[in-house]
Amino acid sequence: MFIQSPPNTTSQWVTMDNVSSGVIIPGLENGMQYQVRVKAYTYNTELDLELSSEAQILYSTPLSVSTMPQNVDVVEMDGSFKVSWNAPETDNGAVVSSYKLHIFNKSSQMTQVITLDASLREKVQVATNGVKYLVSLSAMNSQGESPKSPEVEAIPFGAQSISNVSVNGQTVSWSVGVNGRMVKDVSVLAIDSSPDVNENLYQTSQNQEDVIIGSQSFSKTFNFNHTIQKYLIVVRSAEGQVIKTNFNV
């Protein structure tokens, strides 16, 4: 048996000895076309003559799954995130036919797999603010699925809000709709009839990343000998978002 790669005038035919019915040829490059010619030799001992058949030439291109998609990235948005990526470094001889987007929801512990057209390079995915998602991508060709890209984290978020403000004596309480981002700190300004302004900074006691869904409750008690006319509440998120609200007593 002989093998040639690539089929041009500078290639050399290499003899594969002691081959009776078939052989696995290692060391070939995926996507490269090779010529293989098969020619049988026999020796007639009575005539002391070596005989050979006509050569049969075959063409073959080794194929494999592609490498993983490159430069997978996410941009977090309000109620969604956008995934972008580049094509694999090589398709290993078999054209990429589609992509698979793998989304692991850390809240539900469920994985969603979405098939995407091979022409796409980005995908906007609807998601829940405050939920952490782990995103990876793989490529499909006729040989199967490529390795997955490294996981990228996405936590969608939106604008925070202040609600449920109430006053009981000199204690003011309120809630913050966190909407996907942790509260960093809260400033409460109690404005009295003087009108002096007294500022108190309330640092949140939560230091866990999971307090980013639903609402977070706060309260602050002042000790004044005069009447408070209104409160000004200022909330700053871990990402620097600032929201304010006035509450008249």
**Main-chain dihedrals φ then ψ at residue 96, nearest 5 degrees:** -65, 125
Residue 28 falls inside a structural domain: yes
In a domain, 65, yes or no: no
Burial 148-171 (b: 16+ CB within 10 A, else e): ebeebebbbbbebebeeeeeeeee
Contacts of 22 (CB under 8 A, 6+ apart): none
Domain end call among 138, 154, 170:
154
In a domain, 55, yes or no: yes
CATH number at residue 210: 2.60.40.730
- Whether residues 120 and 184 share a domain: the answer is no
d(CA 220, CA 18) in angstroms, rounded, equals 90
DSSP H/E element including 16: none
Task: HSE, CB side, 13 Å, CA atoms: give it for residue 210.
Answer: 2
Helices (H), 34-174: none
| Cβ atoms < 10 Å from Cβ of 34 | 18
Residue listed under structure tokens 């977070």: 216
Whether residue 146 sits in one domain with residue 106: yes
Q: For the chain, how many structural domains are there in total? A: 3
pLDDT tens, residue order, the chain (249 aa):
444 444 455 555 556 555 556 667 777 778 777 777 666 666 555 555 554 555 566 667 788 999 999 999 999 999 999 999 999 999 999 999 999 999 999 989 999 999 999 999 999 999 999 999 999 999 999 999 999 999 999 999 998 899 999 998 888 899 989 888 888 778 888 777 665 555 555 555 444 455 577 888 888 887 777 677 788 888 888 777 788 888 887
pLDDT at 3: 47
pLDDT value for 202: 52
Residue 188's pLDDT is 83
Helices (runs of H) and strands (runs of E) counted in the chain: 0, 21
Q: Are 88 and 106 in contact (CB under 8 A)?
A: no
For residues 150 and 165, membership in a common domain is answered with: no
Cα 93 to Cα 30, 74, 232: the distances in Å are 6, 29, 65
Question: Token digits for 68?
Answer: 């993983």
Judge if 46 and 109 occupy the same domain.
no
Question: What is the radius of gyration, based on Cα positions, of the chain?
Answer: 35
Strand stretches in 127-170, DSSP E: 133-141, 144-145, 152-154, 161-168
Domain range for 77 is: 70-154
Note whether 149 and 80 are same-domain residues. yes
Task: Say if residue 4 is exposed, middle or buried (CB neighbours under 10 Å; 0-12, 13-18, 19+).
Answer: middle
Q: Where among 154, 171, 196 does a domain terminate?
A: 154
Question: Does residue 107 share a domain with residue 185?
Answer: no
Q: Does some domain include residue 211?
A: yes
Q: Is 42 exposed, middle or buried (0-12, 13-18, 19+ CB in 10 A)?
A: exposed
- CATH code of the domain in which 123 resides: 2.60.40.10
Strand-pair partners of 199: 189
Report residue 137 as tokens: 């991508």
- Please tell me the number of Cα atoms within 13 Å of 67 on its side-chain side: 10
| Surface-to-core class of residue 82, CB atoms within 10 Å of its CB (0-12 exposed, 13-18 middle, 19+ buried) | middle
Same domain, 16 and 56: yes
> pTM to 2 decimals?
0.72
Residues 54 and 104 in one domain: no
53, 76: one domain? no
Considering 154, 172, 188, which residue would you say is the last residue of a domain?
154
